[in-house]
Amino acid sequence: MVDFGFGLVPSSRINLDLFDREKYEKLVAMEPDAKICMACGSCTAVCTAGQFTPTSLREAIEDVFNAKDDKALEALKACQLCGKCSMVCPRGINTRHLILSITKVYSKK
Ligand code: SF4
Ligand code: SF4
């Protein structure tokens, strides 16, 4: 492999071999805006719960792409649905609805 002197950080990589398309399509059917998230991290940067817990919507979305369902749910477990993240999302995503949709689709119950 050619060393260009830079590369993607591991957390930003999407493993297409692990990616569960069926579940992802379910998520997109519930919340179409899941497709336009650009993993900028603005939501995580302003999240108050994220200051004290591992809460991170950005990480949850990446986990979804890498079939780490439990990790995605863990990253949203302490979310208070306060909506602060929706106010800063540059894509105008209804983040609270996205969080609820991820929780529903990826929960084993
Ligand atoms: S702020 Fe919006 S676009 Fe950025 S990571 Fe969060 S949900 Fe995705
Ligand atoms: S809705 Fe959840 S993820 Fe978004 S800022 Fe509030 S606690 Fe954080």
Ligand 2, atom 4: nearest CA belongs to which residue? Answer: 85
0.85 surpassed by pTM: yes
Q: What is the pLDDT of residue 16?
A: 81
**How far, in Å, is the centroid of ligand 2 from the Cα of 1?**
40
Tell me the CA–centroid distance for residue 91 and ligand 2, in Å: 16
Q: Helix 95-106 and helix 57-65: axis angle, to 10°?
A: 40
Distance, CA of 34 to CA of 65 (rounded, Å): 11
Which residue ranges in the chain fall short of pLDDT 70?
A: 1, 8-12, 109
Q: How is the chain split into domains, by residue range? A: 15-106
How many angstroms separate the alpha carbon of residue 39 from the centre of ligand 2? 15
Q: List pocket residues of ligand 2, CB cut-off 6 Å.
A: 43, 47, 49-50, 55, 57, 79-85, 95-96
